[in-house]
Amino acid sequence: MIKNFEDLEIWKSARGLAKEIYRLTSDQKFSKDFRFRDQIRSAAVSIMSNIAEGHERSDNQEFVQFLYIAKGSCGEVRSQLYVAADQAYIAQKNCDELTQVFKRLSIMINNLIDYLKSSGTKGTQYSGSNHSTGSIRSERI
């Protein structure tokens, strides 16, 4: 049983990706485009923040709403990575690798959404197999 959002694998992954976005955008190439830098950072932080906030809510329906927001932020970061590559702020290889990782996270979030929607339990103290950890298979798109 998961009691804290810090135990969710999707939150751990989102945290690691936010850290990577901060590292990547610390490069001098981003220094003059501070609005863009701040936007991609904000979107990356939004993923982990919405997972955490949703988990702290009172029921699965609210959690699902926040997971949808987190999933949308995954898409936002992916889109911004393409802009960063197009502006030569990052190498295309870095863009491709990171977009794949964000796609996998988006799939994991979606799988948790599907599980929560089909679950008969209410509240954040749900139980179940590995679904409750947010460490869900990532083969679904």
pLDDT digits (tens, 9 = 90+) for 36-84: 999 999 999 999 999 999 999 878 999 999 999 999 999 999 999 999 9
Length of the chain: 141
Query: Residue 13 — very low, low, confident or very high, per pLDDT cuts 50/70/90?
Result: very high
Label residue 9 by pLDDT band (50, 70, 90): very high
Q: How far apart are CA 110 and CA 70, in angstroms?
A: 10
Give the residue extent of every domain in the chain.
Answer: 5-133
**Structure tokens given for 92:** 């295309």
CA gap 6, 58 in Å, rounded: 17
* CATH code for residues 5-133: 1.20.1440.60
**pLDDT over 50 (residue 131):** no
